[in-house]
Structure 1
Amino acid sequence: MPIRQQDGAVTATALLYDDQGRLHEHYNKLHMFDVEVADQHHSYRESDTFKPGDEIKVVSTPFGNIGMSICYDVRFPQLYTALREQGADIIVVPAAFTRVTGKAHWEVLLRARLKPNVGLSLLHNGVNITNPEKPGVIQW
């Protein structure tokens, strides 16, 4: 979710709410998706819009310690090692991989990052907005 910070910068932010609907914690995405992709957009430059975060987050909850990450962060193994070392029992990875990068990389990257580091993960890879005949369906 894009959030404007007090300094005016915009961050790509994941929000964690408690069971009463109150904001418990937030995490600002560390790694911006600045890449060339073989799709109709050809390139993506998140850093043109977003400021990267600067803090790794592991949040204590009644369900265990939740390590937070977002999308392109999954390409950086040191983040997941740090989350494990900081006590993460669960890792969340909300994402919006492109059709090209998702088909090629989503599952293999998740297995590589999460399996050696945690016992449970919560994953979400957005919804399909490219096929109006099947809204909400990711088709790789």
Structure 2
Amino acid sequence: MKVSDCMTPEVAVCDPDESIGTIAQQMAALDCGVIPLGQNNRLVGVITDRDITIRGIARGKGPHTPAREVMSEEVLYCYDDQDLDDVTSNMADLKIRRMPVVNRDKDLVGILALGDIALKDGEAGAGVFREVSEHGGPHSQDAP
């Protein structure tokens, strides 16, 4: 199975200068926990509900704080034509729950989340979820 068979194709993109309050409201409206951040037609980061909570609110930042102050700048992504097993293995190793999906021209075409994987392949989704849920890993909330 390819990533394109499993991903969510409709993706909202916000500007990194938008406030975390505005982005949190958009997350609530879309019922999602991640929004890619783009500028000049390029993906420059992602912001998660956890980024807003840990890097923002927990550090005393208010709702008017620009997303760029709390976003994850290292954009980990996958390609829409990649094999889903390879990508889920990578997600498990990196301990990430969601990953932007790009085409070979690096245009954003979707988002892949554990929930998407579980809906298409419950066994694979359970395995990734188990590994992602273990403490530790290279993806940390410690950022400037």
TM-score by length of 2: 0.27
> Quick check: which has more Rg, 1 or 2?
1
* Larger RCO (alpha carbons 8 Å, 6+ apart): 2
Q: When the two structures are superposed, what TM-score results if normalisation uses the length of structure 1?
A: 0.28
Q: Which has the higher strand share?
A: 1
When you count helix as a share of all residues, which structure comes out higher? Answer: 2
